[in-house]
Structure 1
Amino acid sequence: MLKHIVLLQFKSDITQEEINNVFLEIAQLKNSIPAMKSYTYGVNCSIEQLNKGFTHGFVMDFEDIIGRNNYVNHPEHNRVAQQVILPVLEHGFDSVIVLDYEF
């Protein structure tokens, strides 16, 4: 199994409705990408104050590296990344952190 963790820093003027739409669009990727086994998202609630402006995140589980690679290269993933997520980020790709690990 492989865990795919993504942290996001949204623009300061984004609405909650826009944020909800981002996470809904991401959730719908599961319909197109069977290797995506689970998806959760949420708002930072850490008391450590080490989030460096990253307020939201999501986690996906994939069956294996091949499944994750299929997701990353899938046209629907690219559409959501470019047309849905990127326009609402504070500093474009500098407002995203991605970390994957096998478990």
Structure 2
Amino acid sequence: MKAASVIRHCVFIRFRDDIAAAARQEIYKDLEVLCGKLPGVLSFHARKNVSPEVGMDKGYSEGFIIDFADAGARDTYLDDTQHRTIGGRIVAAAVAGVEGVFVFDLDM
């Protein structure tokens, strides 16, 4: 039987220009609060991209990473009603909606 491993959930966002920094921070704060309530969340980090590699970000200027104890904890987060609401706000704030959001999970 394979041992459970940490899942690193990476989400990168191309926010529309008209979305104020305060609105972006409110989204991240709401995610942080949600993560504090769910079992199996190990960490939450939200930041702007600071890579010096010009153009490599493809316009994804900000994002967040959540580490989950295992895939089950990640799936609980994905199924959470509050997560779906916040996710809808992210899509609404992104350039071209869902096209402006990139999600990538790593099995650590």
TM range (shorter): over 0.9
In structure 1, stretches of 5+ residues that fail to align are: none
In structure 2, stretches of 5+ residues that fail to align are: 1-5
* TM-score, structure 1 normalization: 0.92
Q: Distance in 2 between matches of 1:31 and 1:79?
A: 16
Determine the structure 2 residue equivalent to 1:18: 23
Partner of 1:42, secondary structure, is strand
Q: After TM superposition, give the deviation of residue 32 of structure 1 in Å.
A: 3.0
Aligned mate of 2:45, from 18, 36, 40: 40
Larger radius of gyration between Structure 1 and Structure 2: 2
Does the 8 A contact of 1:3 with 1:59 survive in 2? Answer: yes
Superposition pairs for residues 1-103 of structure 1, below 5 Å?
A: 1-49=6-54, 50-82=56-88, 84-103=89-108
* TM-score, structure 2 normalization: 0.88
Identity in percent? 25
Alignment deviations for residues 2-39 of structure 1 (CA, whole Å, 9 cap, x no partner):
11100000001111111111111111111331221110
Runs of 4+ residues over 6 Å off in structure 1? none
Q: Distance in 1 between matches of 2:100 and 2:94?
A: 6
Kindly tell me the number of residue pairs found equivalent between the two proteins: 102
